[in-house]
Structure 1
C-alpha cells in the first residue's frame, strides 16, 4: 500500500520538526499526528513521511531529523521502523532496541540539534 502526504501536511511536518529542533526537544508520534491533523491512516502517513525525510537527509549527508520523533512509551526511543529505516540508509547497524540503539539515537539527536538545516528543507 502506497501512502502519500499532502504538500500542506509535509510543510507542517517540516515546521514542527524545525520547531522541535530549535527548542532542543523531542516530539511523540501521537503529538505529531494530532498537531498535523493527518487523515486516516494517520500513523502510516506519518511513518511514510518520516522515512521519506530520513532518505532525503541521508542523501544530503545530514543528520536524520526523523530521530526527533519518539514513542510515548518508557523507552523514549523511536519505533523499531525508524531503526530499520536507518539500517536501510546505512546510518545504523544493530538491533532496534537495547543500549546500542539508545546510544546511537542519542548521538543522532545531538547531531540534529547542532546541524543548521537549509530553510524550507
Structure 2
C-alpha cells in the first residue's frame, strides 16, 4: 500500500519537529498524529513520512530528525521500525532493541538538538 502525505501536513510535521528540537523535547507518535490531524491511515502516514525524512537527512549527512519521535511506552524509544529504517540507511548496526539501540538513539537525539537545519538547507 502506498501512503502519501499532503504538502500542508508535511510542512506541519517539519514545524513540529523543529519546535521540539528547539525546545529540546521528544514527541510521541500519538501526540504527533493528533497535532497534525492526519487522515486515516494516520499512523502509517506518519511512519512513511518519518522514514522519508530520515532518508532525506541521511542523504544530506544530517542528524535524523525522526529520532525525536518516540513511543509512549516505558522505553521512551522509537518503535522497532525506526531502528530497522536506520539500519537500512547505514546509520546504525546492531539489534533493533536493547542497550546499543538505546545508546545510539540518545546520541542521535543529542546531535539533532545541536544541529541547525535552517543553515543546512
Q: Calculate the TM-score normalised by the size of structure 2.
A: 0.98
Residues 89-108 of structure 1: per-residue CA shift (max 9 Å, x gap):
00001111110000000000
RMSD of Structure 2 on Structure 1 (CA) = 1.2
**Which has more helix, going by share of residues?**
2
**How many residues align structurally?**
121
Structure 1, unmatched stretches of 5+, are none
- Give, in angstroms, the shift of residue 118 of structure 1: 1.9
2:55 match: 55
Gaps of 5+ in 2: none
Residue equivalent to 2:91? 91
1:51-72: CA deviation from partner (whole Å, max 9, x where unpaired): 0000000000000000000000
Taking structure 1 as the reference length, the TM-score comes to 0.98
For residues 109 and 2 of structure 1, the distance between their equivalents in structure 2, rounded to whole angstroms, comes to: 29
Q: Distance in 1 between matches of 2:118 and 2:89?
A: 21
Q: Distance in 1 between matches of 2:13 and 2:48?
A: 12
1:75 matches 2:75: yes
Partners of 1:20 and 1:96 in 2: how far apart? 24
